[in-house]
Amino acid sequence: MPAYPPATVGMPLAEVDTPALILDLDVFEANLKRLKESLAGSNVKVRPHAKSHKCPQIAMRQMALGAVGVCCQKVSEAEALVEGGVTDVLIANEVVGARKLTRLVALAKQARIAVCADDPGNTDALAAAARAAGITLDVLVEVNVGANRCGVEAGEPAVELARRIASSGSLRFAGLQAYQGSAQHVRKVEERRAAIEGAVAKVQRTLDGLRTSGIACPKVTGAGTGTYMFEAASKVYDELQPGSYIFMDADYARNDWTESGIPRFEHSLFVWTTVMSRTSRDRAVVDAGLKASSVDSGMPKIADGGPAEYIKISDEHGVIQLNGAAGYEVGDKLKLIPGHCDPTVNLYDHYVCVRKGQVEAIWPITARGAVW
């Protein structure tokens, strides 16, 4: 981690060093409110995904607006969140391996912790770890609702795993994790809606099986920014897990949102960068490359960039094709909208929080690098 931070509180944005991760607080707060308002009158709870932000300061603000807790993906992320004051964390993912399970059950003594599972050997290991720690651990069964990644198949396989958890003696069957991840970035609203209808049918079949087997299902949790209003309307989801709505990235902005019921979340997260070279009439080179913005979902976009386009990235450089745009002289600073927020956030140690052109706060990204 660099010895000096890119900014100090009170500094004008223009003086913030680059590359830096800038959070526009007005837009960020408006996004938090948009989510809440979009669910007004609904009984569905919100448990935002903290894998997007990795920051207790943001988790606390989400909970202050009614979130019941947060999700994350890794034990080390959950540790950072609990250390930062978050009292309720669902690890919406499988946790495998002796060292991780030891940490998991230790953490479950400090906060309300739940975890997902899709494998009987793993639930046996979870049960043994919980027993050794003298706790009862909440475990959700992850159901494959269409993403074909993790998760047991819907219906009987899910019921069987729930039964194993419920009868373990040291685990509590805490519900179904049913996240349709492959639907979130599908561009057309109707295709996203259809994917969630498919997910809902799988969840419903599993709920029917659980009922037949006499196993109570405390909740169904899932959904993301791209689809959450469909899960909210489904009557089978109790809890939603959107993450990216707070920031919005260039890739999510390419989705069609018309008549989805999902509000127009706006870009609040930017990579602040400087033009470092301008030796050609047609191109400028900026100081934010692969170590400053993830490109797995495409190049960063220039905020208010006019015709200029960020066309090529290398480790520490970005090439901007000007296409006739004025400006972009050496030393000029500009905002980039990351292609994909989550892995971009994971590159930084701090959010430089800006309001009306001035640094208001610096929030540490304490779960940055928390991959295990």
Write out the binding residues for its own copies, residues 82-111 only, by CB under 8 A. 83, 93-97, 99-100, 103
Q: How far is the CB of 48 from its own copies (least distance, A)?
A: 15
User: Closest CB to its own copies among 39 and 56?
Assistant: 56
The angle, 0 to 180 degrees and rounded to 10, between the axes of the packed helices 120-133 and 98-107 is 50
Distance of closest approach, residue 235 Cβ to its own copies, in angstroms: 27
Q: Which residues contact 15 (CB under 8 A, 6 or more apart)?
A: 7
Encoding tokens for residue 101?
């399970």
The residues, any chain, with a CB within 8 Å of residue 105's CB and separated by 6 or more, are 129, 130, 132, 133, 135, 137
**String of DSSP letters for 114-156:** EEEE--HHHHHHHHHHHHHHT--EEEEEEB-SSS-SSSBPTTH
Number of residues that bind its own copies (CB under 8 A): 76
> Cβ 259 to its own copies, closest distance in Å?
28
> Do 124 and 148 touch, CB atoms closer than 8 A?
no
Question: Which residues from 216-245 bind its own copies, rule CB under 8 A?
Answer: none
Least distance to its own copies, CB of residue 251, Å:
13
Residue with smaller CB distance to its own copies, 204 or 321: 321
Q: Which is nearer to its own copies, 8 or 42 (CB)?
A: 8
CB 37 to its own copies: min, Å? 27
Considering only residues 10, 121, 134, 357, which one is a binding residue for its own copies as defined by CB under 8 A?
121
46/62 Cα distance (integer angstroms):
9
User: Is there binding between residue 160 and its own copies (CB under 8 A)?
Assistant: no
Q: Does 314 bind its own copies (CB under 8 A)?
A: yes
Selection from 361, 282, 292, 353 nearest residue 323 by Cα: 282
Sign of CA dihedral 176, 182, 184, 188: negative
- Residues 6+ positions from 185 with CB-CB distance below 8 Å: 226, 251, 252, 254, 255, 297
Cβ of residue 340: shortest distance to its own copies, in angstroms?
A: 8
Q: Can residue 211 be called a binding residue for its own copies (CB under 8 A)?
A: no
Please state the closest distance from residue 96 (CB atom) to its own copies, in A: 5
CA 338 to chain centre: 14
CB of 19 closer than 8 Å to CB of 333: no
The yes or no reply on residue 79 touching its own copies (CB under 8 A) is yes
How far apart are CB 73 and its own copies at their closest, in Å?
4
Q: Based on the shown chain and the rule CB under 8 A, indicate whether residue 194 belongs to the binding site for its own copies.
A: no
Q: Does 150 bind its own copies (CB under 8 A)?
A: yes
Query: Which of the residues 263 through 282 are near its own copies (CB under 8 A)?
Result: 274-280
Q: Does residue 327 touch its own copies according to CB under 8 A?
A: no
Among 36-44, 58-66, 210-218, 340-348, the segment contacting its own copies (CB under 8 A):
340-348
